[in-house]
A and B are shown apart, each in its own frame.
Chain A
C-alpha cells in the first residue's frame, strides 16, 4: 500500500482576519469508500496535476520557502499537528470567494520516493434523503464535498530526498482559465510558488518554433495558416495556457499543428503551462504586419520587411506614406478577415 497517512482538515475562509478560526482535523482510516476515493486522487495526481511549479526563494534570495518548510516537515513526520500548520496556511489566504474547503494531505511512498498530494475540495450544498420504513426524511446540508466539484485544486510533490528536493512540483487548478486571482490563490498565495516556465521563456519558445515552422515548410496554405495564427496569438497576452491548449483554441489544422509541434524541442514541452507575453512574442515574431487607414494590410517576414516594402513619405505632417513593392504573384486568396 503506497499511502502511509491521510489527514483531513476543514478550512474556513479567513484571509486578513486577526482571529483565525480553529481548524478541525482528523486522520482518515485506511478503509472504506472515502479512503478508496482518496486513493484514486493519490494515484491520478501525477497525471492530473499538469502545471509545473517551483517554490519562490526567501526575500533574501535564499533557498527557503515557508510553505515548502511545512510540507517537508509533514512528509518527514506526518502528524495531525504538522498537517494543521499547512491547513492554517491555506486558511490564512482563503477568501470568502474561495469559501469553505476540505483539505486532504495524502502522504505515500512510490518507487522509493516520498510523495505528497495536497487536495482541496470546495464546500457545496446538497440534500440528504433517508428512508425509514415508509417514511422519508429530507434535509438540506451546506457542507457537502464532492470530488467532481469544479473548483477542485491539487498539488503533487515527489522526491527521494525531500529535505533537499521538493523544490518543484505540479499543481492543478480547474479554474485556471477563469479569473487569474483564483489560480493565484492556490499557486502563488498558498503554495508560495510560481510557474516553472516564465511567460517570456514559454513565449519565446513558441515564437521561435512558429518562425521555424513557417520558414521550413513548402505548403503555402500551412504557411498562411501559421502566419494568421501568429497574428491571433498577439491577442493572448496574459493568458496562462500550454502550447497545446493554444493550438486547440486557435483551431489549427492537423498539418499546421504537426509543423508547429515538430519545431518544439521536445513533445512534453507542448504541455508546459506559461503566461503568454505579447511583448516577448513581438521580439521574436516571425512576420510584421502593417495596416494602413485605406484598408491595406502589408505582411512580410519581419527581418526582411523593409527590404520587401520600400517606404516613401508622401505627406509627412499628416503621416501619409507610400509603400512600394515588386515581385511575381505566386498566390492570391480571398479572405473574410485579416
Chain B
C-alpha cells in the first residue's frame, strides 16, 4: 500500500498536475459558447488525500482498495459550475457529446424528507489529448470524475466538505440539522433563481 501511495506522489509531481491543467483547458474548449458557465476547474487529487483514501478499510477490517492506483477513479477530477439548475442538463448534453460515460448519476439525498448533497456526477474516460507527449499513458489514470454543479450546490458542498466531511469528531445532531438547513436553503435558492430566470429571460 505504501508503495502505491509513494508512486502516486511521484506521479502527482511529475505529470498529474499538468494533466489536470490540460483537462481544464480541454473541458473549457468543449463548453465554449455555452451560456451561464461560472467556471470550469480541474485538479489532481492531493497526495495526502489519496493516501487517506487508499488506506480506508471495510467494516470487516479488510482494505477497501487492493490496487488503489487502478481502483480510485477520482485521481483526476473536474467540476463545471453553472448559474441555474436548467443549465445542468445543457452541460450534460455537451459532456455526453464529447465523452462516453461509464457512470452518469444524479446524486440526491436518499429520502425525500432529507436535504444534503445534490449534484450531477460522471466517470469519464480520460482523453489522450490531455496527456503530455513524454508521459507513458500506462501510468496515467484511465478515467476521471466530472461534477456539474450550480453555484449554490458548489458553495454548499465546499463548506460541507470543510466543516462536515473533514470534521475531527462526529457532528452533533444539532450541527447535522444546521448543515441540512443550509442545504435546504441552497436547494431553495437554486429553485427560485431558476424560476426567475425562466420568468424574466427564458
0/1 per residue, B64-94, Cβ < 8 Å to A? 0011001100000000000000000000000
Please determine whether B101 and A57 come into contact, CB atoms closer than 8 angstroms: yes
- Selected interface stretch from B121-129, B150-158, B172-180: B121-129
- In the assembled complex, B104 has its CB within 8 A of some CB on chain A: yes
> B128 contacts which of A56, A61, A269 (Cβ < 8 Å)?
A269
Query: From residue 99 to 149 of chain B, which have CB atoms closer than 8 A to chain A?
Result: 99-106, 123, 125, 127-131, 133, 137, 142-143
Please determine whether A167 and B128 come into contact, CB atoms closer than 8 angstroms: no
Interface SS, A side: loop
- In the assembled complex, B165 has its CB within 8 A of some CB on chain A: no
- A195 contact set on B, CB distance < 8 A: 100
- B101 contact set on A, CB distance < 8 A: 57, 61
Among residues of B, the one whose C-beta sits closest to the C-beta of A277 is: B97
- A168 contact set on B, CB distance < 8 A: 102, 125, 142-143
Please determine whether B129 and A164 come into contact, CB atoms closer than 8 angstroms: no
Task: Kindly provide the distance from the CB of B110 to the nearest chain A CB, expressed in whole angstroms.
Answer: 15
Alpha-carbon distance A262/B163, docked complex (angstroms): 48
Please determine whether A63 and B70 come into contact, CB atoms closer than 8 angstroms: no
> A265 contacts which of B71, B125, B128 (Cβ < 8 Å)?
B128
- B30 contact set on A, CB distance < 8 A: 204
- In the assembled complex, A161 has its CB within 8 A of some CB on chain B: yes
- In the assembled complex, B193 has its CB within 8 A of some CB on chain A: no
Alpha-carbon distance A205/B97, docked complex (angstroms): 13
Please determine whether A198 and B128 come into contact, CB atoms closer than 8 angstroms: no
- A293 contact set on B, CB distance < 8 A: none
Please determine whether B98 and A198 come into contact, CB atoms closer than 8 angstroms: yes
How many residues of chain B get a CB closer than 8 Å to chain A's CBs?
26
- The answer to whether A196 and B100 touch (CB under 8 A), given A159-B70, A168-B142, A268-B137, is yes
- In the assembled complex, A247 has its CB within 8 A of some CB on chain B: no
> A54 contacts which of B98, B102, B105, B129 (Cβ < 8 Å)?
B102
Please determine whether B66 and A161 come into contact, CB atoms closer than 8 angstroms: yes
Alpha-carbon distance A57/B133, docked complex (angstroms): 30
Please determine whether A198 and B129 come into contact, CB atoms closer than 8 angstroms: no
0/1 per residue, A184-207, Cβ < 8 Å to B? 000000000011111011001100
- A204 contact set on B, CB distance < 8 A: 30, 98
Please determine whether A196 and B67 come into contact, CB atoms closer than 8 angstroms: no
Please determine whether B70 and A164 come into contact, CB atoms closer than 8 angstroms: yes
- B123 contact set on A, CB distance < 8 A: 63
Please determine whether B103 and A57 come into contact, CB atoms closer than 8 angstroms: yes
Alpha-carbon distance A37/B67, docked complex (angstroms): 33
Please determine whether B67 and A269 come into contact, CB atoms closer than 8 angstroms: no
Alpha-carbon distance A267/B134, docked complex (angstroms): 11
Task: Kindly provide the distance from the CB of A290 to the nearest chain B CB, expressed in whole angstroms.
Answer: 23
Alpha-carbon distance A60/B107, docked complex (angstroms): 12
- The answer to whether A167 and B97 touch (CB under 8 A), given A57-B102, A268-B128, A272-B128, is no
> B142 contacts which of A167, A201, A205, A266 (Cβ < 8 Å)?
A167
Please determine whether B129 and A269 come into contact, CB atoms closer than 8 angstroms: yes
Please determine whether A161 and B70 come into contact, CB atoms closer than 8 angstroms: yes
- The answer to whether A62 and B71 touch (CB under 8 A), given A198-B97, A268-B137, A272-B128, is no
Task: Kindly provide the distance from the CB of A109 to the nearest chain B CB, expressed in whole angstroms.
Answer: 14
- B102 contact set on A, CB distance < 8 A: 54-57, 63, 167-168
- In the assembled complex, A160 has its CB within 8 A of some CB on chain B: yes
Please determine whether A205 and B129 come into contact, CB atoms closer than 8 angstroms: yes
- In the assembled complex, A126 has its CB within 8 A of some CB on chain B: no
- In the assembled complex, A238 has its CB within 8 A of some CB on chain B: no
Alpha-carbon distance A200/B96, docked complex (angstroms): 10
- A269 contact set on B, CB distance < 8 A: 128-129
Binding site for A on B (CB under 8 A): 30, 66-67, 70-71, 97-106, 123, 125, 127-131, 133, 137, 142-143
Binding site for B on A (CB under 8 A): 54-57, 60-63, 159-161, 164-165, 167-168, 194-198, 200-201, 204-205, 265-269, 272
